[in-house]
Amino acid sequence: MAAIYDFTVKDRKGNEVNLGEYAGKVLLVVNTATGCGFTPHYEPLEAMYKDLRDKEFEILDFPCNQFAGQAPGTEDEIHEFCTLKFGTEFPQFAKIDVNGENADPLFAWLATEKPFEGFGKGIKNFSLDKFADMNNKKFGDKAYIKWNFTKFLIGRDGQVIARFEPTVDMEEVRKAVENIL
């Protein structure tokens, strides 16, 4: 059975990082964007990181520009935005694709382990669902992630425990993380 530790990714400087470096930790893996309506999620993510990182918790941030071009900058520009506006200190990796033929294998695996089950109820969620479907048609059966700020909770054994769409309240995400810790 595969585990997150079987994957290698690139940090924001282009260096390879074996995710085995995070073995034994609880992880929250997030695809992000700096110009998205969900960009304010950086604030509760950073608060959670500051409060829980001493308990062997890490947030792994993967910027992605595949959703309406909402992460157009370079890795350095994105990092500067996040650190200046939100004070982020958690690891930020190279910008990646999470869908399509060039989808990073990590995100293809994550989404296969915990497939999309919907954005939830309500008019805003229904609207996002329709917009995401239009955006993701070009990826066909490789539309693994539906929108920015999809989060995957990984247990200490490297297995995917839960998937949180961007519409899930951040308090619910935090409670799930705390329950695992």
CA distance 110 to 96: 14
64 noted as active-site residue: no
* b/e per residue 32-57 (b: at least 16 CB within 10 A): bbbbbebbebbeebbebbeebeeeeb
Active-site entry in 27, 28, 36, 45? 36
CA distance 148 to 30: 8
Whole-number CA gyration radius for the chain: 15
Number of H helices, E strands in the chain: 5, 6
Which residues belong to the active site?
36
